């Protein structure tokens, strides 16, 4: 995050003119690149870096592709339990959801497997790289860039 006249800005939301004026885009780009450096191979990025991770707006797998044995039980459910259900759990209500839509229950497999929810998950985790909310560091930390890529690939393969 950056501070600009008392406002908090994220590197990807800084106005380009302000970034050029301050000459701050170079160190920020270097930090963002380094932030994902230890995540292992992340595959080709389709859209640059957002919040420190490559974006993947295009499919990383085709429906039915073999994805190293990743399935709902071995991969997706543990991912959601670790990073998502603090706000998107069926036992979380009201203000404890921190603004999470009440219909997005990521500890309920039938909800996760709905096409609309899968689309929304993929968009927020692998394209905008917004979730979890970068303004609220969850105690469990953030998914790595590689974990984000694997979740997108799991969804693209048909969420087996």
HSE toward the beta carbon, residue 145, CA cutoff 13 A: 23
Q: How far apart are CA 113 and CA 103, in angstroms?
A: 13
> Token digits for 150?
């694997």
Per-residue pLDDT of the chain (160 residues; tens, 9 = 90+): 443 444 444 444 434 444 344 444 333 333 333 333 333 334 445 567 888 889 999 999 999 998 888 999 999 999 999 988 888 999 999 988 888 899 999 999 999 999 999 999 999 888 888 776 656 666 778 889 999 999 999 999 999 9
Residue-by-residue DSSP string for 11-43: GGGS-HHHHHHHT-HHHHHHHHHHHTTTS----
Helix (H, G, I), strand (E, B) or coil at 121: helix
Q: Is the pTM of this model over 0.85?
A: no
Q: Which residue from 153, 156, 128, 118 is spatially nearest to 47, judged by alpha carbons?
A: 128
Quote the CA–CA distance of 100 and 53 in Å, as a whole number.
22
């Amino acid at each position: 995050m950056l501070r600009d006249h008392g406002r908090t800005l994220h590197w990807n939301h800084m106005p380009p003119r302000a970034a050029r004026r301050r000459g701050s885009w170079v160190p920020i780009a270097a930090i963002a690149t380094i932030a994902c450096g230890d995540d292992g191979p992340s595959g080709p990025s389709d859209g640059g870096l957002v919040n420190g991770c490559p974006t993947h707006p295009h499919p990383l797998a085709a429906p039915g592709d073999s994805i190293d044995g990743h399935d709902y039980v071995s991969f997706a459910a543990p991912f959601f339990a670790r990073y998502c259900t603090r706000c998107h759990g069926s036992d979380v209500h009201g203000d404890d959801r921190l603004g999470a839509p009440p219909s997005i229950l990521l500890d309920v497999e039938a909800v996760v497997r709905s096409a609309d929810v899968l689309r929304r998950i993929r968009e927020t985790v692998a394209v905008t790289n917004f979730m979890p909310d970068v303004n609220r560091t969850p105690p469990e930390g953030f998914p790595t860039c590689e974990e984000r890529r694997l979740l997108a690939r799991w969804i693209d393969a048909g969420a087996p």
